[in-house]
Amino acid sequence: MRNNTEPDAAVSIRGLRVIRGGNLVLPHIDLDVPRGQIVGLLGPSGGGKTTLMRAIVGAQIIAGGSVEVFGIEAGSPALRRRIGYVTQAASIYPDLTARENLAYFAKTVGVVSDGVTATLHHIGLADVADRPVSTLSGGQASRVSLGAALVGDPELLVLDEPTVGLDPALRRDLWGLFHELRDSGKTLLVSSHVMDEASRCDRLVFVRDGGILADDTFENILADTGTDNADAAFLALTERTAA
């Protein structure tokens, strides 16, 4: 639950620098993620999206700057239940059932079994809850991974490429769930290299080569670039930066 002394931004980043493998991956990032919105982190693979997300959840060593979540330093124990993180590769156990996976992750954050059942219904997997994940479809496995992040009822969801590889119908359904979560008061940071997902977000952050090209609403970005779609807007911003 929100403390009235906490900042308006769910995430506040200032001067973030990250070096990986001797390479400067994020040279200087300033970013605020507003509460109660879906913020899309869009850009090509290798642009720094995953590294930025890892820094937010406290899984990335940083070389400089600051990252705060709800006014608390990223990675602090106090944030353990307040953040849900879904990685690109599903962090679930294929030999366990969907229910067993959620029960395992629930135990790590102190959630009772009723929370597991409620989450299974929320992500639409109640009917296959007792099947091993290895027997589920790719879309269902993605939902199990999302459920593992949701079972602790986090305030912030950090989702790294959650819809990549899914068919259009599954992507639509997953985005429908994201909007339901947003409407319930949660904040979502969703990365993707699929530009047509821009219109599904409340706010966009275009990222390329470790830098932020734009941070605004989709409508404002289109107006600023004089374009009518996300791909064209991204290219226009890239050319503007290179000029």
In a domain, 223, yes or no: yes
What local confidence, expressed as pLDDT, does residue 7 receive? 77
Q: How confident is the prediction along the chain (243 residues), in pLDDT tens digits per residue?
A: 455 567 789 999 999 999 999 999 999 999 999 999 999 999 998 899 999 999 999 999 999 999 999 999 999 999 988 999 999 877 899 999 999 999 999 988 877 767 899 999 988 899 999 999 999 988 888 889 999 999 999 999 999 998 887 788 888 888 999 999 999 999 999 999 889 899 999 999 999 999 999 999 999 999 999 999 999 999 999 999 887
Number of domains in the chain: 1
In a domain, 75, yes or no: no
DSSP-derived secondary structure for 10-59? EEEEEEEEEEETTEEEEEEEEEEEETTSEEEEE--TTSSHHHHHHHHHT-
CA-closest candidate to residue 47, choices 243, 220, 241, 188: 241
HSE toward the beta carbon, residue 128, CA cutoff 13 A: 17
What local confidence, expressed as pLDDT, does residue 224 receive? 97
CATH number for position 152: 3.40.50.300
What local confidence, expressed as pLDDT, does residue 2 receive? 54
Looking at the chain, list the stretches that DSSP marks H as alpha helix, in order from N- to C-terminal side.
49-57, 98-108, 113-122, 138-150, 168-183, 218-225, 230-242
In a domain, 67, yes or no: no
What local confidence, expressed as pLDDT, does residue 5 receive? 61
The whole-model pTM stands at 0.92
In a domain, 186, yes or no: yes
Residue 141's domain spans which residues?
A: 35-50+82-242
What local confidence, expressed as pLDDT, does residue 113 receive? 67
What local confidence, expressed as pLDDT, does residue 4 receive? 57
In a domain, 151, yes or no: yes
In a domain, 154, yes or no: yes
In a domain, 203, yes or no: yes
What local confidence, expressed as pLDDT, does residue 88 receive? 85
